[in-house]
Structure 1
Amino acid sequence: MSISSFNRRWATVILEALTRHGVRHVCIAPGSRSTPLTLGAAENRAFICHTHFDERGLGHLALGLAKASQAPVAIIVTSGTAVANLYPAIIEAGLTGEKLVVLTADRPPELIDCGANQAIRQPGIFSSHPTDSINLPRPTQDIPARWLVSTIDHALGQQTGGAVHINCPFAEPLYGEPDETGMSWQQALGDWWQSDKPWLRTSSAQEAVKQRDWFFWRQKRGVVVAGRLNAEEGKHVAAWAKMLGWPLIGDVLSQTGQPLPCADLWLSNSQAVTELAEAQIIIQFGSSLTGKRVLQWQATCEPEEYWLVDNLPGRLDAANHRGRRLSCDISEWLELHPAEKRMAWDEKLTTLAKIAQQAVKKGTTEFGEAQVAARLPELLPDAGQLFVGNSLIVRLVDSFAQLPAGYPVYSNRGASGIDGLLSTAAGVQRATARSTLAIVGDLSALYDMNSLALLREVSAPFVLLIVNNNGGQIFSLLPTPAAERERFYCMPQNVNFAHAAAMFSLSYHNPASWDELQTAVDHAWRMPHATVIELTVGETDGAQTLQHLLAQVSQA
């Protein structure tokens, strides 16, 4: 019996099972122990294979592919610490609902805890963060192939979001020309090989349930809060709220067009909070709110009912309001709960939003990150998409900009880490083949600099906008001790990214004015490759502008 040949057959069955659950993209890191899985994926014509030498970046590449394609994405890595590097992406997927199928090659049991090279305890390595974990046995013909496909099918059929971890031990030898070993074992699955359906079909669909008293609540004074939505949901929620005459507070990730822009500014005004207190019901669609003032208001509001609609599991409401947690597809829920045409009940919020927007326009005339955040819509490519990083930049965009309704916006706002932002944006672009603008801070770019390698392979123009304010200036907004702020919090690195771009053969610009930035971006949208544009800005200018505008609008 050829061990290497049967390893390949075992891996081939696993990978073929994945195709029956919509997996088309497979992200692969180099490694020897994962050879059966890698070669099995390479020869399966259903897959588009992506490679990266950095497993942490690879995990986030898969995360981005899953975000944009809204389909499960597989990851293949070798044993050892290669596996551990996937942890941040698995945590993020668990919080934001992307489907990842993580195939980790492993040493067989006899090589664990005995000093063998690159052998660690991999079963359960990701703790509670995957939605399911499977520790497969060493490949053997004593176990029927139907057990293997049923095991895979059951896990993936129940997957509503997050990662499924499948640990795959393989004994050596790993290399060799395939022979007839295990052919009858494989063929025992019969015409399954010619079908496109899972061997075992399961369902865990969460159906929207009509709230019988909706006809009553839709006649009340309501407020709509929109968190992270997709483009279709964002447009639908905005139209629904407008029909009801309810004010809509839209997050930067809501894709609603933010009909009351700059919410995180005008919510600092006591008049706004007083008016919103008149609401009898608040309905929130989507989680992961960004704005500090929005979150503060959301935590302290006391309507008669607070409903939260999202297809993710869990409460998703840190304030634990009295009301209803409705786990289902948002578009389906809206169809079951039609709006009734009513007059807007609070025009004062519209006035405050206009005051805030005018303050932003007057307060961001100097070139810098505040101006770029406020005028970001002017840089967006037609029929393109936006990826927004974390820390200060996402807060500035959320506070200052009004993004177009239905324009795709992506981010990693589950755990809100800075790891893997460039690779996630690369995955988003690869899944859609759309022109993409990604905007991140300098520390975020440094943290994922290996993933600049992924930007050498783009299928449409890609602009990476790095806002270099020399450190983590989000800490300038927090009451961090001034004497230790620079050394222990902001950590300025005093770098520029010209050499990093050159190392990966990427175009690079360092504009010093808005006109130069606009020219560089316009040129980049005509180029079929990636362009790095670095904005060198004052260290605390963005944070100070935000604080100044908050003070101004709060007194309006």
Structure 2
Amino acid sequence: MSVAVFNRRWATLLLETLTRHQVQHVCIAPGSRSTPLTLAAAAHPHLICHTHFDERGLGHLALGLAKASGQRVAIIVTSGTAVANLYPSLIEAGLTGEKLVLLTADRPPELIDCGANQAIRQTGMFAGHPVQTLDLPRPTPEISARWLVSALDNTLAQQTHGAVHINCPFAEPLYGEDSGEHQDWLEQLGDWWQGHQPWLNYPPVEHTNVQPDWFSWRQKRGVIIAGRISAQESESVARWAEQLGWPLLTDVQASTGNPLSCADLWLASPQAQAVLARTQLVIQFGGGLTGKRLLQWQAACEPDEYWLIDTLPGRQDPAQHRGRRIQADVTGWLQAHPAQPQPDWAEELVSCSQRARDAVKTHLEGTFGEAAAAWQIPALLPPHGQLFLGNSLIVRLVDAFAKLPAGYPVFANRGASGIDGLLSTAAGVQRATCKPTLVLLGDISALYDLNALALMRQCSAPTVIMVVNNNGGQIFSLLPTPEAERQRFYCMPQNVSFSHAAAMFGLDYACPASMSALQEAVTECWQHGGVKLIELRVSETHGAECLRALVREVSAS
């Protein structure tokens, strides 16, 4: 019993330490070996506990919470393959910057590699994907509380982005009444328990990223690219670009108001190419670009210099341009580099964008399908809400066709761009903000994470899950895959109806057959609340064909 009590003391200190590093949310999957951590989290008065029976979805739930809150989020899972299921969310966090703390329960060393149940080699199992790892010893009173709290503080202080993996072995017994033993072990920390600060503080390192030659660069012909940045940062970038008179190319993840919308259609046109060839400086804010034509232009452009500003470390530029990689907060960097008002040097791009918007309207007005839904998505958004976009074809259609409102929050998993855990991530985003949420994704993505509909039942504000059912992964329709093998090995049509999924999880359901019916179904949810799954049964290839046709038409104009 003494072992069980001390396990709990150890876990209590661990969870308290996390709260000193702004952890408010803890995502917990069921398991026996993780009992000390689970009970310590449940007993902590300042922690909000979320549960899910699927560790892969649990990791993405935490990812969404971290994405929308901007805070660290902890995850507690038991030993064995439960840990391995966190891999996809850990990888995504490393690429997009969300801070996750993985608390993985483990068997003690003597039970590893000897055939013990649910025992695998967990040390180092995530390779280089965590930004920091901490392999804790088996809890014992011989190790001081000061060592544990300072080891945790040291690890978390080095977490500038991505996930930290803390492996926590616990010996049995894991259960038992609290006998009051080992309270003196916790009391080694004295009045620290009455405060709110870490035991070991690491003051932040201040970086000064002012470019001394900005005065001369801002008078040249520049282009600004807005990538994966927040809604607030997006609005600041848009104002800054307008003052400079520089064209702003906006990714779907940025909320700039997209003054030059439909860029994925017009960027390849001869007129646009001729204008943009005069660019002397490109400044990109945030990574993770979506549009194919934007990525092609970004890769091919040859300005005098290319600057990339992002809080994440690393190059973040697959085209390897010559220039400057500036790791900085976008808002602070803009304030340190004021714009000098000057006329727009690339006015011709406005007409390029307008022609593309006119072409989209001509093609899609009066039609019903995923292309039309992507084009009309701004009209479907909830007031004062947020948008979560899936991957594959649908995010490309929204990027190419829609003009999203300025300052409207947009979330996505565009780090590794996988379809695993999209519904779970959206659930986390909704829980962190408590805002009305529109989730838009494809049928294969929804099937991949179908049990996350259990998480959606707990949404605190009106939520619409719009599943575009084009019967398979139609993103592959855009690729030169062999026709004979395309359906079987790439698109993989499943011929399912999501009405059964909605019924299984007790969600409202609608299957509109027109844009007006879709608008009505969405509006009803915003007005009356609840969670509604809306299935759009659409032509299998029409969305991909629309994108291909419009790119061809606009690029030739």
| Structure 1 segment 246-257 matched on structure 2, within 5 A | 246-257=246-257
Q: Is the 8 A contact 1:135 1:168 kept in 2?
A: yes
Partner of 2:119: 119
Instruction: Give the Cα–Cα distance (whole angstroms) in 2 for the partners of residues 82 and 235 of structure 1.
Output: 41
Distance in 2, Cα, partners of 1:528 & 1:66? 25
Q: 1:158 Cα shift?
A: 1.5
Q: Partners in 2 of 1:83 and 1:303 — Cα distance?
A: 46
Cα distance between partner residues in 1 of 2:73 and 2:477: 38
**Match for 1:381: what amino acid?**
P
The equivalent of 1:276 in structure 2 is 276
In structure 2, what is the equivalent of residue 522 of structure 1? 523
**Aligned residue number for residue 439 of structure 1:** 440
Distance of 1:390 and 1:462 partners within structure 2: 19
Q: Number of paired residues?
A: 556
Q: C-alpha displacement at 1:554, in angstroms?
A: 1.1
Q: Which AA in structure 1 matches 2:68?
A: A
Show the counterpart of 1:448: 449
2: distance between equivalents of 1:337 and 1:154? Answer: 34
Query: Is the 1:206–1:329 contact (alpha carbons within 8 Å) kept by the matching residues of 2?
Result: no
Alpha-carbon separation, structure 1, partners of 2:178 and 2:129: 37
The residue aligned with 2:97 is 97
User: Do the aligned residues in 2 keep the contact of 1:206 with 1:327 (CA within 8 Å)?
Assistant: no
Distance 1:16 1:528 in 2: 36
Note the alpha carbon deviations across 1:94-151, whole angstroms, 9 max, x for none. 0000000000000000000000000000011111111001100000111110110111
CA apart distance, 1:204: 4.8
The match for 1:488 is 489
Residue 49 of structure 1 is matched in structure 2 by 49
Partner SS, residue 95 of structure 1: helix
Runs of at least 5 residues in structure 1 that lack an aligned partner in the other structure: none
Deviations 1:163-211 (A, max 9, x none): 0000000000000011222111110000110000000011454624100
Look up the match of 1:69. Answer: 69
What is aligned with 1:384?
385
> Tell me, what secondary structure is at the counterpart of 1:470?
coil
Matching residue's letter, 1:28: I
- State the one-letter code of the partner of 1:161: H
Q: Secondary structure at the match of 2:6?
A: helix
Establish whether residue 316 from structure 1 lines up as the match of residue 355 from structure 2: no
CA distance in 1, matches of 2:5, 2:61: 30
Q: Is the 8 A contact 1:241 1:247 kept in 2?
A: yes
| Residue 529 of structure 1, CA deviation | 1.8
Give 1:260's aligned amino acid.
L
Determine the structure 2 residue equivalent to 1:108: 108
- 1:509 maps to amino acid: A
CA distance in 2, matches of 1:483, 1:184: 71
Q: Could you list the per-position Cα deviations for residues 406-456 of structure 1 after superposition, in whole angstroms to 9, with x for gaps in the alignment?
A: 100000000000000000000000000000000000000000001000011
Counterpart amino acid of residue 72 in structure 1: R
| Residue matched to 2:424 | 423
CA distance in 1, matches of 2:490, 2:363: 27
> Secondary structure of 1:207's match?
coil
Q: Distance in 2 between matches of 1:90 and 1:225?
A: 27
Q: Which residue of 1 aligns with 2:369?
A: 368
Q: Find the aligned partners of 1:485 and 1:462 in 2 and give their Cα distance.
A: 34
Tell me what 1:17 maps to. 17
Paired residue secondary structure (1:188)? helix
Amino acid at match of 1:429: Q
Q: Contact (CA 8 Å) 1:134, 1:166: kept in 2 or not?
A: yes
Output the amino acid matched with 2:4.
S
Deviations 1:346-384 (Å, cap 9, x if unpaired)?
111000000001111111121000000001000000000
Equivalents in 2 of 1:247, 1:222: separation in Å?
7
Partners of 2:8 and 2:65 lie apart in 1 by: 26
SS at match of 2:532: strand
Question: How far apart in 2 are the matches of 1:258 and 1:227?
Answer: 12
Q: Deviations over 1:318-354 (max 9, x none)?
A: 0010000000111110010000110000111000000
> In the alignment, what sits opposite 1:509?
510
Cα deviations by residue, 1:461-488 (Å, 9 ceiling, x for unpaired): 0100000000000000011111111000
Q: For residues 306 and 206 of structure 1, do their structure 2 counterparts lie closer, same or farther at Cα, with a shift above 3 Å needed?
A: farther
Q: Equivalent residue for 2:338?
A: 338
Matched, 1:170 2:170: yes
Structure 1 contact 359–549 (Cα < 8 Å) conserved: yes
Q: What SS does the corresponding residue of 1:259 show, helix, strand or coil?
A: coil
SS at match of 1:410: strand
Q: Is the 8 A contact 1:153 1:199 kept in 2?
A: yes
Cα distance in 1 for residues equivalent to 2:61 and 2:470: 26
Give the whole-Å Cα distance in 1 for the aligned partners of 2:298 and 2:470: 31
Q: What amino acid maps onto 2:504 in structure 1?
A: M
Aligned CA-pair RMSD: 0.8
Alignment of 1:106-505 (within 5 A): 106-205=106-205, 207-365=207-365, 366-505=367-506
Is residue 549 of structure 2 the alignment partner of residue 548 of structure 1?
yes
Please tell me whether the aligned partners of residues 208 and 327 of structure 1 are also in contact (alpha carbons under 8 angstroms).
no
**C-alpha displacement of 1:526:** 2.1
Answer yes or no: is the 8 Å Cα contact 1:456–1:504 preserved in 2.
yes
Q: Deviations over 1:210-239 (max 9, x none)?
A: 000000000000000110110110000000
Sequence identity percentage: 65
Q: Which amino acid aligns with 1:393?
A: I
2-side partners of 1:117 and 1:274: how far apart?
Answer: 65
Aligned 8 A contact 1:221 1:278 in 2: yes
1:422 partner amino acid: L
- 1:289 maps to a residue whose letter is L
Structure 2 gaps, min length 5: none
- CA distance in 2 between partners of 1:308 and 1:205 (Å): 21
- Cα distance in 2 between the residues matched to 1:247 and 1:34: 53
**Displacement of 1:528:** 3.0
Shift of 1:288: 0.3
Runs (4+) off by over 3 Å: 203-206
Cα deviation, residue 270, structure 1: 1.9
